């Protein structure tokens, strides 16, 4: 009997092609892994509402890691949730606004994307709620914040991101540094996957993860088999022990068919 394994997949640039579709070839090979008793997890920066909307109906992972690990779902049941403390979230947002006038700030709270201006230039047309974050008594700070997002293209924010922010939160970035993502301290995809592995009784050596961006580095470099897509950032490609073809060339399916079929 084969040892049960945990297979984890980032979405954008990894499992998804550039049109945000998963090929039938990829779905079929992952389904064969499920039939053999393995565990499948998504590991994404996206909120669960996006995952439910974008995943095809014939693809049903056992777990979904959202917000870079701030939330973990077993099927549709929320089993892990990490909030940025209200005082910390307010401090971060206030400092961002002071350091860079007009910077885009977005906050994920109770599965609603609160923003101080239109997010279209970063994310296209997505559902959002226009909000001002200048009052600590604002309900968004009381309801629990899973992630803060801001633009990374402002030079005035570089020292803050690399300095104070790293001391009080978990920070990563995506899209070639264009989007900075802030979660509660200690939150990242790998910590979430370790929790899933522990629940399922799976050894770290039997965790296989696929990714392509900076926020995938921890899981790709820490799991048993970390696979970088050919379209990955240079930093991830330099650190990954294993690589596959690009997301446009069904890199996930190519690797799984070769080594786990």
- Average pLDDT of adjacent 10-residue blocks, the chain of 261 residues: 92 97 98 97 97 94 98 95 95 88 92 94 92 89 93 76 82 89 96 98 98 97 98 97 98 98 88
Domain with CATH 3.30.1240.10 in the chain: 86-184
Q: How many CA atoms lie within 13 A of 1 on its CB side?
A: 6
Per-residue burial over 171-204, b if 16 or more Cβ lie within 10 Å, else e, is: bbbbbeeebbbbbbeebbbbbbbbbbbeebebee
pLDDT at 176: 85
CATH number of 86-184: 3.30.1240.10
- The pTM of the full predicted model, rounded to 2 decimals, is 0.94
Maximum C-alpha span of the chain: 60
pLDDT of amino acid 167: 83
pLDDT digits (tens, 9 = 90+) for 113-162: 999 999 999 998 899 999 989 889 888 998 899 999 998 877 677 777 87
Task: Identify the CA nearest to 10 among candidates 179, 232, 199, 180.
Answer: 232
Domain with CATH 3.40.50.1000 in the chain: 6-81+187-259
CB atoms within 10 A of CB 46: 19
- Rounded to whole angstroms, the Cα distance separating 176 from 163 reads 20
Partnered with residue 148 across adjacent β-strands are: 107, 182
C-alpha to C-alpha distance for 28 and 239, rounded to whole angstroms: 29
Q: Which of 236, 74, 194, 16 is nearest to 227 (CA)?
A: 236
Query: If we measure between CA atoms, which residue out of 43, 7, 36, 6 comes closest to residue 200?
Result: 6
Kindly report the number of other CB atoms within 10 A of residue 95's CB atom. 14
pLDDT of residue 1: 59
Tokens 């959202």 found at: 66
Contact 116, 96 (CB under 8 A): no
The CA–CA distances, whole Å, from 261 to 31, 35, 124, 200 equal 11, 11, 38, 22
- Please state, in angstroms and rounded to a whole number, the distance separating the CA atoms of residues 179 and 173: 6
- 6-81+187-259 architecture in CATH? 3-Layer(aba) Sandwich (3.40)
Residue in the block written with tokens 């050894």: 203
Coil, strand or helix at 71: strand
């Amino acid at each position: 009997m084969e040892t049960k394994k945990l297979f984890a997949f980032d979405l954008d640039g990894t499992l998804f092609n550039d049109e945000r579709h998963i090929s039938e070839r990829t779905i079929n090979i992952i389904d064969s892994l499920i039939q053999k008793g393995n565990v499948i997890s998504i590991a994404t920066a996206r909120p669960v509402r996006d995952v439910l909307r974008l995943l095809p109906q014939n693809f049903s992972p056992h777990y979904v890691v959202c917000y870079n690990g701030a939330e973990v779902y077993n099927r549709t049941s929320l089993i892990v949730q990490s909030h940025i403390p209200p005082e910390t979230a307010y401090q971060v947002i206030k400092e961002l606004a002071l350091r860079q006038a007009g910077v885009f700030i977005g906050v994920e709270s109770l599965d609603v994307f609160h923003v101080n201006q239109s997010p279209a230039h970063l994310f296209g047309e997505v559902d959002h709620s226009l909000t001002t974050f200048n009052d600590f008594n604002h309900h968004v700070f009381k309801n629990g914040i899973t992630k803060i997002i801001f633009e990374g293209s402002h030079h005035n924010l570089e020292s803050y991101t690399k300095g104070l922010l790293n001391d009080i939160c978990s920070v990563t970035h995506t899209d070639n540094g264009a989007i900075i993502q802030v979660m509660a301290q200690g939150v990242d995809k790998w910590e979430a996957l370790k929790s899933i592995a522990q629940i399922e009784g799976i050894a770290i050596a039997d965790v296989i993860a696929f990714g392509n961006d900076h926020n995938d580095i921890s899981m790709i470099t820490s799991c048993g088999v970390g696979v970088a897509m050919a379209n990955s950032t240079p930093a991830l490609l330099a650190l990954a022990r294993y690589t596959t073809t690009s997301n446009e060339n069904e890199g996930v399916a190519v690797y799984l068919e070769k080594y786990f079929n």
